[in-house]
Amino acid sequence: MKFEQPLIHGNLVKRYKRFLTDITLDNGQLVTAHCTNSGSMKTCLEDDAEVYISKSANPNRKLPYTWEMIKINGNWVGINTFNPNKLALEILSEGWIKELPHFDFLKPEVKFGDSRFDVYGEAGSEKVFVEVKNVTYKDGIYARFPDAVTTRGLKHLHTLVEAKAQGYRTIMLYIIQRMDVEIFTPAWNIDSNYGKGLVEAHSKGVEIIPLQVKVTPKVIEPYKILPYSLDL
């Protein structure tokens, strides 16, 4: 996924009220950028860290800037939670994940039951639902999800199980937007109900694909599939 316009460099001042971020640009200007990540952003906040933001071409936006990434321990960590969905569509259409078929048809945001999944795909007679989650929480070598309690995420797991029972192939695709981790696991310490839900969903046929991506100021691209553990 290439950024459409050159990103703007600055340094983090603070993130507050969940959706607001103050950033000092290289020219000294202080701007407030939209933070799309509503979670705790645990382990991806550091005072005065380098950041990149994008500027919208829409003159009517209340906040023209969006926070895209932050540098932690020498590595860029993706902040914008909208990017994983865009990236997932590109990756699925290009057939990068060898565990998945070549899709003849892909459509974002498709409703099933009382949920809406991020991607619906068809490969011959096979019908597939893919739910995409953004992962930035680091705990040692582990990438963990979620970084805050998520009842919505748990609901998605339950609905994936329902879809699987009706003959769909169902996949949890975790987009890990940092390079300094090696294994994906649920964040049992933050939301044990989600962890239990993921274990149950997996036991009923929901597939888990943790995809690590490399984030840079010019492009976000797939790097490798990480192993995962569902142990406590």
CATH for 14: 2.40.50.580
Specify the pLDDT at position 103.
Answer: 97
Tally of structural domains, the chain? 2
Q: Output b/e per residue, 123-140; b: 16+ Cβ within 10 A.
A: beeebbbbbbbbbbbbbe
Domain extent at residue 15: 8-78
Three-class SS state of 5: coil
Specify the pLDDT at position 30.
Answer: 98
Residue 127 has pLDDT above 90, yes or no: yes
Three-class SS state of 201: helix
Could you tell me if 69 and 25 are in contact, meaning their C-beta atoms sit under 8 angstroms apart?
Answer: no
Q: What is the pLDDT of residues 85-107, one digit of tens each?
A: 999 999 999 999 999 999 999 99
Specify the pLDDT at position 198.
Answer: 98
Specify the pLDDT at position 83.
Answer: 97
Q: What is the pLDDT of residues 170-202, one digit of tens each?
A: 999 999 999 999 999 999 999 999 999 999 999
d(CA 199, CA 57): 43
Could you tell me if 181 and 222 are in contact, meaning their C-beta atoms sit under 8 angstroms apart?
Answer: no
Q: Is residue 35 in a domain?
A: yes
Residue type, 221: E
Specify the pLDDT at position 89.
Answer: 96
Specify the pLDDT at position 123.
Answer: 96
- State the average pLDDT for the chain: 96
- Same domain, yes or no, for 132 and 198? yes
Specify the pLDDT at position 114.
Answer: 87
CA distances from 118 to 80, 110, 128, 133, 204 (A): 16, 7, 11, 9, 20
Specify the pLDDT at position 212.
Answer: 98
Residue 161 has pLDDT above 90, yes or no: yes
Residue 3 has pLDDT above 90, yes or no: yes
Give the number of other Cβ atoms within 10 Å of residue 205's Cβ.
14
Q: Output b/e per residue, 38-77; b: 16+ Cβ within 10 A.
A: ebbbbbbbeeeeebbbbeeeeeeeeebbbbbbbbbeeebb
Residue 141 has pLDDT above 90, yes or no: yes
Specify the pLDDT at position 232.
Answer: 79
- Same domain, yes or no, for 100 and 203? yes
Domain boundary among 78, 105, 139: 78
Domain boundary among 21, 51, 78: 78
- Same domain, yes or no, for 54 and 92? no
Q: Is residue 166 in a domain?
A: yes
Specify the pLDDT at position 226.
Answer: 98
Model confidence at 59, in pLDDT bands (50, 70, 90)? confident
Work out the average pLDDT over 37-55: 95
Extract the runs of DSSP E, i.e. beta strands, from the chain. Answer: 8-16, 20-25, 30-34, 50-55, 65-72, 75-78, 105-112, 115-123, 126-135, 137-139, 142-145, 169-176, 183-186, 207-215, 220-225
**Bridge partners (DSSP) listed for residue 71:** 76
Residue 139 has pLDDT above 90, yes or no: yes
Work out the average pLDDT over 132-159: 97
- Same domain, yes or no, for 71 and 97? no
d(CA 52, CA 60): 22
d(CA 67, CA 22): 10
